[in-house]
Amino acid sequence: MPTDMSVLHLLGTAGEGGAETYFLDLVGALARADGPQACAIRPNANREAALAAARVSVETYRFGGPLDLITKPRIKTFAQKQDVKVALAWMNRAARHTPRGPWARIGRLGGYYNLKYYRGFDHLVANTEDIADWVVAQGWPAGRVRYIPNFAAAPPDTAAVDRASLDTPDDAPLLLAMGRLHEAKAHDINLTALTQIPDAYLWIAGAGPLEAKLKAMAEAMGVAGRVRFLGWRTDPSALYRAADVCVFPSRYEPLGNVVIQAWAHGLPVVAAASQGPAALIRDEADGLLAPVDDAEAFAAQVKRVLADPMLRIRLAQNGAERVEAEFSEAAVVAQWKTLFADYGAG
């Protein structure tokens, strides 16, 4: 049995998305920083393999609906065996199944979640300042919520995806869109904008319910030959390194982790001015913004970046500086470790 176990992460979702990707990033970073970690997750072969590679103790559970009366007591037994000091719930489903015990319960919020799932918790962590302010406005004690952003990092040994492997010319402007194929991510805006950028190619990395609809739109708009639907990818760093511009037209986005990741890879960003990106990006300094749902304005901003090498360099350099100052792995992990130490972990 571990002798210095302290933090148990709970993730109740089964699919793949930005929150799930960052879950692995943060758990791995905390493990590398010599903070003992354990994880209770729903079965997912990719996540289980990644956590095993990070030498993190992991068990899988059903994380079912209200009639699931088994998951919580089983997680409690696991937590006791691991000598947990902090249980960290990632999103609502995990919070519902986080057992009480001699450990602190902390909720990690990546959006404007229903706080009923966190009643009795000791602390909440928001990944944007706006979410933290919103939590307090809902009546949560200000002294028990704090803002800790996501971090971003570019692995130094990752090579760019070979464009030829995705039937993309080396000399074509390449736009990269990352995110689920969902209405909120506004990939339809990317496709419409592409009709106004005739030389560019577009890679869309993500899976979701709108795949068939978006492919049909691409065909109807006459851009299907320049669009590559990549599905869910486990090599985002290689995609960032292959592209010329990151395009992020989300209609709703509490944070915009894609923006931070693009900055970390030296990639200029054009985004819609939805809540998260508008708060994150300093327009004209480290990214360009366009109004939400305005494909013509979005295309114009992308064309500006493609036509002006000095603008691309300036946006990329300023974005990289933001990551170093605010969103580096070391800075973010230090904030988490400070919080855990407040509750006797680490």
Q: Taking the model in full, what pTM does it have? A: 0.85
pLDDT tens figures, 5-22: 589 999 999 888 888 999
Are the CB atoms for 346 and 319 separated by under 8 Å? no
CATH superfamily of 7-151+328-342: Glycogen Phosphorylase B; (3.40.50.2000)
Domain boundaries, the chain: 7-151+328-342, 163-326
What is the percentage of the chain residues whose pLDDT exceeds 90?
90
pLDDT tens figures, 179-225: 999 999 999 999 999 999 999 999 999 999 999 999 999 999 999 99
**Pick from 179, 180, 190: nearest CA to 226:** 190
The CB-side HSE value for 272 (13 A sphere, CA atoms) comes to 24
Same fold, 7-151+328-342 and 163-326: yes
pLDDT, mean over the chain? 95
φ/ψ region of 18 (left if φ > 0, alpha if ψ in -120 to 50, else beta) reads alpha
Q: Let me know if 198 is exposed, middle or buried by CB neighbors in 10 A (0-12, 13-18, 19+).
A: exposed
For residue 230, CA distances in Å to 169, 208, 261, 286 come to: 16, 12, 18, 27
Cα(228)–Cα(210) distance, rounded to whole angstroms?
15
CATH, domain range 163-326: 3.40.50.2000
pLDDT over 50 (residue 97): yes
Both tokens of residue 87?
Answer: 């249980």
pLDDT of residue 4: 56
Cα(191)–Cα(27) distance, rounded to whole angstroms?
35
φ/ψ region of 40 (left if φ > 0, alpha if ψ in -120 to 50, else beta) reads beta
pLDDT of residue 296: 98
pLDDT tens figures, 244-301: 999 999 999 988 889 999 999 999 999 999 998 999 999 999 999 999 999 999 999 9
pLDDT over 80 (residue 3): no
